[in-house]
A = this chain, B = another copy of it.
């Protein structure tokens, strides 16, 4: 009737045209030296979401990030010392906002690293399964949620947006059809600004019109 209680958090971002997930190298029994998703015990008087935000903050320096609950896992055999119930979340963050080179504030992990979601090694506990759940949920809800815009900078190009879609769906999309559809949806604001620092034609920047988006999906 009583159980240990942890939260784990998949932290996704988008960088270099690819969907990435932040993993940490464990420094503690069990699964010492294995890669795992960030996670830890929920404090006695702490709300579960606050615990997730705390853990995400420790790894990214960001507060008030986008969170979705994925699942509760409570298998008696998850942990050698008995049941440790964990509630898994996924967080979406903008790569350009992340404070990199955060020094580990705890000693239960050594380093954190962004992995391409399709190049993830075998992880501690059931974390590969949780990653699958996260990717599935992203994919299933892609068309109804702001997820793509939580992964991208506030101002983004249509090519970047298409790459987000492609990396979540795991398939390539036709450029003309993609742009036609996005512009028909009507919730992208075309800006009078352009990409800078590229050595080829600069693409126009867009941003999400949240009001129109929400009007459409609620």
Contact = CB atoms under 8 A, between A and B. Distances in A.
A29 B72 CA distance: 26
Contacts of A57: none
Interface stretch (A1-9, A11-19, A92-100, A146-154): A1-9
A217 to B, nearest CB: 12
Contacts of A195: none
Contacts of A45: 76
Given A42-B1, A85-B5, A47 B69 contact: no
A72 B48 CA distance: 10
A121 interface: no
A44 B76 CA distance: 9
Contacts of A47: 74-76
Nearest to A45: B76
Nearest to A42: B1
A72 B87 contact: yes
Nearest to A40: B1
Chain A: interface residue count, which band?
Answer: 20 to 34
Contact of A4 (B2, B41, B71): B2
A141 to B, nearest CB: 8
A183 interface: no
Interface in A76-113: 76, 85, 87
Interface in A38-54: 41-45, 47-48
B72 A1 contact: no
Nearest to A77: B47
18 contacts: A1-B5, A1-B41, A1-B42, A1-B43, A1-B44, A2-B2, A2-B44, A3-B3, A3-B42, A5-B74, A42-B74, A47-B74, A47-B75, A48-B85, A69-B71, A71-B72, A72-B87, A85-B85
